[in-house]
Homo-oligomer: A and B are copies of this chain.
Amino acid sequence: MYRTHNCGELRAENIGQKVTLSAWVQTIRDKGNITWIDLRDRYGITQVVAEHGVVSDAVIADIKKLGREFVVQIEGEIIERHSKNPEMLTGDIELKAEKITLLNASKTPPFTIEDETDGGEEIRAKYRYLDLRRNPVKEKLQLRHKVSLETRKYLDTVDFMEVETPYLIKSTPEGARDFVVPSRMNPGEFYALPQSPQTFKQLLMVSGYDRYYQIVKCFRDEDLRADRQPEFTQIDCEMAFVEQEDVLNTFEGLIKHLFETCRDHKFEGNFPRMTYAEALEKYGSDKPDIRFGMEFCNMTDIVKGQGFGIFDEAETVLAINAEQCAVYTRKQIDKVTDWVKRPQVGAKGMIYMRVNEDGTFKSSVDKFYDQTQLAKWAEATNAKPGDLILLLSGDDLKVRSQMNDLRLHMGDELGLRNPNVFAPLWVLDFPLLEWDEDTARYHAMHHPFTSPKPEDMHLIDTEPGKVRANAYDLAMNGVELGGGSIRIHNKELQARMFELLGFSDEEAKAQFGFLMNAFEYGAPPHGGLAFGFDRLVATMGGSDSIRDYIAFPKNNSGRDVMIDSPAPLAADQLNELSLDVKKTEKPA
């Protein structure tokens, strides 16, 4: 037996016991004729002590051979610690070493295995198995484990059944690019890896499975942005015989359960709700961070006609009120202006107005606007002495997106985005379709199976872009945790939808024939939702980055630098798959 206890469980009541620990050497410290070793495992740290003259010479000799990250087995007696450490759960005791067995040596790690490491991102990615030893990383994966288990427990109590859907499915040109898998047994043919189990979960509703869920890997071959991974995990759910209200209530229950059990956080009352239109109007985002106010104020009508060309020519002028920021210096304001002009935000400039303590105004466009004019700005933005008003202008859609970026940036600057405050928000009534300029046709905003709102059906032939969908997202802290919709369960409506999306009959049949057929055999009304599991856990952990919450993530080129993948195939493997690789340049 390698150990009687782990390094996190020994307490004062164990004093006098003979125990055996097996674990890693975190540190070795000498002081006078005493040596201490911090022994570390998944469960904690236990201090080992060896006093020259008290323990045998063999033990002293064995200790001399040890170094950081060595794996050792240490037998001995639990004794009371001289200077107790109330910060540590095991801080009342230490292990008096009586026998030391080296289980495995270690080279010096390429970075320190400490909460604050000296290792950069690249080296930690290459030696991910060592980075995973660090407490902050381990705690993130433990949270992930807990959230996953509590999700299953909760959904089981409300009659959801986990059903595994296939990974080797069929490629569909709709949406993001599929990863594909050549079939050796069917030369020239390919499977695709699922972007989501969407059609399968709808088939399970047709099958009468009523309440389905799955925590499942999904795959998207997109050009990777900072916080995207080619493979990611979803909590995928679907329910039959439900309306939108049933779905929202069910999954609000799940999220509350997860925060209570995994974060010891209780939400009061129901999650607030907002329509998509209102979210865009107030926050320029379909996933607003409502931990703070700073709502948009539409200034277009107020600012026009005073000879300031930029505003006069703009489709929309928006303002936000950064309360009590009039103290910002010119230099600080210039820094904010530079920030909004970065290519990632793309604003051409920023106008500001300070409300001085004496109630007068100072703006960057005093040439065009006098104090009376500026008083109207203050009134519109509800500005008080000491406040700072920031304005952006331009095309409506663009300026909303830029102002959203600016608002979040100011929220960060002013410390209004505390990662331990959680502000959920249901965003409702998404548009059914969005117009795509490139292909000059409509795309499904959510996906082609989302149902239109019955009250908007009269617009479907004349103004399809104005039709709202029975679609909803759960946002939290400016992040989309998940989203879903009530689906179409009627074959004719589904066919009409494919038509709106520019599918020919043949295309629709070739790709989704099985689903449309299934709708002919008693499909129940149904709807569902999927949470981005990586993002949910990251948000619960108070982090922006999903990568930290994935045990073995890929980098921004989709590479796993630890195992060095992807990699070329051997010629005979390609032959077996009936494939040739074309000589091409790597895309820039």
Contact = CB atoms under 8 A, between A and B. Distances in A.
Number of copies: 2
A518 interface: yes
Interface stretch (A100-108, A262-270, A273-281, A318-326): A100-108
A169 B565 contact: yes
Nearest to A156: B149
Given A42-B208, A145-B163, A200-B551, 7 more contacts: A69-B521, A138-B208, A166-B231, A170-B566, A173-B573, A180-B573, A188-B568
Nearest to A142: B161
Where chain A touches its partner, the secondary structure class is loop
Contact of A522 (B105, B231, B568, B569): B105
A562 B518 CA distance: 10
A475 B190 CA distance: 36
A6 B524 CA distance: 14
Contact of A168 (B2, B153, B189, B230): B230
Interface stretch (A46-54, A538-546, A575-583): A575-583
Contacts of A130: 207, 521
Given A181-B179, A185-B557, A168 B565 contact: yes
Given A42-B208, A208-B24, A3 B584 contact: no
A186 interface: yes
Interface residues of A, number: 126
Nearest to A209: B42
B170 A145 contact: no
B567 A189 contact: yes
A558 B185 contact: yes
Contacts of A2: 241-243, 525
A148 interface: yes
Nearest to A491: B104
Contact of A581 (B207, B579, B583): B579
Nearest to A215: B164
Interface in A194-208: 199-200, 203-204, 206-208
Contact of A208 (B1, B133, B188, B209): B133
Nearest to A42: B210
A438 to B, nearest CB: 15
Nearest to A126: B514
Nearest to A183: B566
A519 B209 CA distance: 47
